[in-house]
Structure 1
C-alpha cells in the first residue's frame, strides 16, 4: 500500500485594508470548512482563490462589499476619507493591560517619537495594542518603523537608533541588548520601563485628559464623584452662611 504523507498548511490573508474583523471571520470560516465532516462543494483552494482574486477592496465612503465563503455571507466597508480613521479593532485589550497613568505615559512617549517596544506572551495582543495606539494619536500618524509582531531572529533590530514601534513576544530573551532609551511596555504586568525619563504632560492638560479617560472607562463612578464634589461645595457654602447672625434684610417679604 502506498503511504500517505500529510503536510502542514498555513493560510495567511494579507490586505492593505485594516479590516481585521472580516479577515478573522474569513479565516474562521475557512478553518471550519477544512474540518467539516461534509467537506465543501468546491475545493478549498478555489474558495481562497475566488476571495483573493474577485473580492475588491472597499472604496472609502461607498457601499459595503458583500462576498460569501460557502454558505457564510461576509461584508466589508470603509468610511469616508475625510472622516475618522477606520478602526476595525477593539481598544479594550489596551485598556485592560495598562492603567490610566501608564496609558498616558505610553501616549506621551509615542507623541515624542520614542522607540517603543511592546512585550506580551500573546501574539494577537501585540497586534491589537499596536493598532490601537496608532489610532489613539489621530490626527497624527505614526510614520516611523512599525512592526507589530517582530520575528524572533529580528530581536537585534531593537538596538536601531531610529524611532520605531515594535511588538516582541515576551519569551524572547533580550537581556543581552542595551535598550538605551527604549520604552519597554510589559502588557502582562502593566509596567513601563525606560532609561530616559518620559516628560509629564502639564498638570492642567494631564488632569483634563485623565478625567476624560476615566469618564469613558468608569462613567458611573466618575458621575458619582462629580455629584459628591458638588454636594461638598454646597455643604461648604451652607456652613459659611449658616453661622451668620440673622439680619432684618434676610426676612422674606
Structure 2
C-alpha cells in the first residue's frame, strides 16, 4: 500500500522581497521529509510559471498539474490549485517624481514596502495563493478533488478541521498497487471518493490525453513528434493552457511505450528557468505561449 500524497504545501506571494516576482512556502505538512520521498525545493517557482505578481482584479481559481524530478530521476506529480486573496496597498511618501513607494498589508497584518515605477495605484490588490499536493502517483482527479474540498472548507469557513482533512490525505488514504481493487475513501469532509489503480505497473494511464493530442495537432504532427522523441531530439511545446502542456507531454511519452523517456522532462518550465532551453541534451518541455519569443 502507498500514500495518496506525500506533502501538502501552501505557497503565497512573498511580500518581504523588493521585487514582487517570487513566492514562498507559508506552510508545509509534514515538516520532515519522508525517507522514501524527499521534498523537492523550488516548488514555488512551478506553481506560478509566469512569475508571482499582484493583480488589481480577483482571479478565478485554477488547477493544473506539474511534474518535478528528483536527483534519482523519480517523478513527483504536483497538483496545484491557485486562487487570489485581497491585500491592502497603502501609498506612502514619494521620494521623487518617478518612483512611488507603497506598503502592502497582508492578511496577517504584517506590512512591507514595495517600489513601483509608473504603476497604477489600487487601494486593494489581490495576491495569489496556491494549495499543492505532491504525490509519487499521477492520480489527477483524486488529487484535484482533495484540493477542491480543502479550498471549499477554507473559503466558506465550514465547520470542518482543515488539519484533520490534510492529515487524512497524507496518512490515512492508502492506495493499492497496480492491478489492485478499486478503493473508496473519505478525507473527513462528508465526502465520498473512489480511486481505481492502474491495471499494469508499466502501461501508462492516459485517459483522454492521447486523443486530445491527436485532435489538437493532427496525426502527421504527432507521428513526427514520436519519431523525434525516440531519436533523441529536443521537443518544446507551447500553449496558453498549463493543463494542455502537461497533458501533451504525458501523451507523447505514453505513445513511446514500451520505451521510457529518460531525458530532461519538464512539462511546464517556469519563466525564470528559460535558460534551461539552451542545454545541449535532448529534452521534452513546455512553456506558456507568451514566452515563445523570449
TM-score over 0.5 for the pair: yes
Q: CA deviation at 1:140?
A: 0.9
Q: Per the alignment, do residues 73 and 88 of structure 1 end up closer, same or farther by CA in structure 2, a change over 3 Å counting?
A: farther
Q: Counterpart in 2 of 1:64?
A: 182
Count of matched residue pairs: 171
Q: Counterpart in 2 of 1:6?
A: 107
Task: Report Cα offsets for 1:125-162 as digits up to 9, x if no partner.
Answer: 10011111111111111011101111111111111011
Q: Counterpart in 1 of 2:285?
A: 166
> Is residue 90–residue 128 contact of structure 1 (8 Å, CA) maintained in 2?
yes
Task: Report Cα offsets for 1:204-227 as digits up to 9, x if no partner.
Answer: xxxxxxxxxxxxxxxxxxxxxxxx
Alignment partners' CA distance in 1, 2:276 and 2:240: 19
Alignment partners' CA distance in 1, 2:229 and 2:202: 23
Q: Per the alignment, do residues 82 and 59 of structure 1 end up closer, same or farther by CA in structure 2, a change over 3 Å counting?
A: closer
> Is residue 155–residue 174 contact of structure 1 (8 Å, CA) maintained in 2?
no
**TM-score between the two structures when normalised by the length of structure 1:** 0.61
Q: Counterpart in 2 of 1:100?
A: 219
Alignment partners' CA distance in 1, 2:152 and 2:241: 23
Task: Report Cα offsets for 1:95-131 as digits up to 9, x if no partner.
Answer: 2320111111111111112111111111111001111
Q: Per the alignment, do residues 60 and 144 of structure 1 end up closer, same or farther by CA in structure 2, a change over 3 Å counting?
A: same
Alignment partners' CA distance in 2, 1:94 and 1:12: 26
Structure with higher strand content: 2
Tell me the SS of whatever aligns to 1:11: strand
> Is residue 238–residue 292 contact of structure 2 (8 Å, CA) maintained in 1?
no
Alignment partners' CA distance in 2, 1:40 and 1:31: 10
Q: CA deviation at 1:83?
A: 6.5
Aligned match for 1:22, one of 142, 153, 156: 142
**Greater relative contact order (CA < 8 Å, ≥ 6 in sequence):** 2
Q: Which runs of 5+ in 2 are unaligned?
A: 1-87, 89-104, 109-127
Q: Per the alignment, do residues 163 and 10 of structure 1 end up closer, same or farther by CA in structure 2, a change over 3 Å counting?
A: same
Tell me the SS of whatever aligns to 1:17: coil
**TM-score between the two structures when normalised by the length of structure 2:** 0.53
Tell me the SS of whatever aligns to 2:186: strand
